[in-house]
Amino acid sequence: MVRLGVHISIAGGVDKAVDRAKAKECDLFQIFSCNPRGWRSKPLSEDEAERFIVKFKESGLNLAVDHMPYLPNLASPKEDVFAKSVETLATELMRCQMLGIPYLVTHLGSHLGTGREQGLRRIASALETAFSSAENDVVPLLENTAGTKNSMGGSFQDIAAIIESLGARRLGVCLDTCHLFAAGYELRTAGGLETTLDQFESSIGLQMLKLLHLNDCRGAFGSHLDRHEHVGLGQIGEQGFRNILCHPALKGLPMILETPVDLRRDDSGNLRMARQLASETK
């Protein structure tokens, strides 16, 4: 059985995310532990964290994952932005520890024109500094990007270079299917998916892959357009998701949907579609 979930709001308290995840019939879920559009986060109280932990343990849910806010840029050449980004990363690692959350999904950011090598150095430095500030077992999951201009993480080689520079210590990978497809990694056919996974294995190693973001893509193959679509209704299509959901190297991984909510489908509708496709043979 595949394990599927969606991104859940923490409005009204972080523990409310557990109730919402259960109501949507998730197996697992992802949250922002604070306001994703601001630099400042209200500190978590011990009581808040305890309510979340107790409720999660009683829920029967499989996993909770945290996601970094939008503003941090770990590759930024701007010293003020970089410093705030590192501080946010360290804070989120500590918030995850308080909540008993094992994974923090982390965007790698943009080098803003200073070049890939400089961007890689900044990201490695950011992670090292954050690890020194938050000495715990929470694992940042480096998320791939769609390969937009100046962005880091659009290729497996980018992610591999970061992991290598830190010796794979306390790191994992989250692959977003929309971003993969937009960056030019084929997913629509069984052969294309196999080639993509072979490239991942040779560059990074499948043992580093801890989470999938299961999103279809509005943009064309290799377009570098980061626009999520309902499962099966975008350019990857239903057969592409059958391939992904039934692949022996992937079907055991936790999968989070970050799909739109509109008149065509809501979160529950996308979960139902993903489960249906997972139950079908290729």
Produce one character per residue of 169-192: b if its CB has 16 or more CB atoms within 10 Å, e if not.
ebbbbbbbbbbbbbbebbbbeeeb
The catalytic residue among 7, 20, 107, 218 is 107
By CB atoms closer than 10 A (0-12, 13-18, 19+), residue 256 is buried
The catalytic residue among 67, 95, 111, 242 is 67
**Is 230 an annotated catalytic residue?**
no
**Is 164 an annotated catalytic residue?**
no
The catalytic residue among 27, 66, 143, 267 is 143
**Is 267 an annotated catalytic residue?**
no
Residues 6+ apart with CB under 8 A from 76: 82, 85, 109, 110, 111, 112, 122
**Is 48 an annotated catalytic residue?**
no
**Is 176 an annotated catalytic residue?**
yes
The catalytic residue among 15, 158, 176, 267 is 176
Angle between helix 116-133 and 79-99 (nearest 10): 40
The catalytic residue among 228, 230, 242, 265 is 228
**Is 70 an annotated catalytic residue?**
yes
The catalytic residue among 213, 218, 230, 265 is 213
Closest to 99 measured CA to CA, from 40, 17, 175, 159? 17
**Is 7 an annotated catalytic residue?**
no
The encoded tokens of residue 39 equal 């630099």
The catalytic residue among 37, 47, 58, 262 is 37
CA distance 246 to 229: 20
The catalytic residue among 226, 230, 242, 265 is 226
**Is 228 an annotated catalytic residue?**
yes
The catalytic residue among 7, 95, 111, 179 is 179
The catalytic residue among 258, 266, 272, 275 is 258
**Is 111 an annotated catalytic residue?**
no
Active site residues: 37, 67, 70, 107, 143, 176, 179, 213, 226, 228, 258
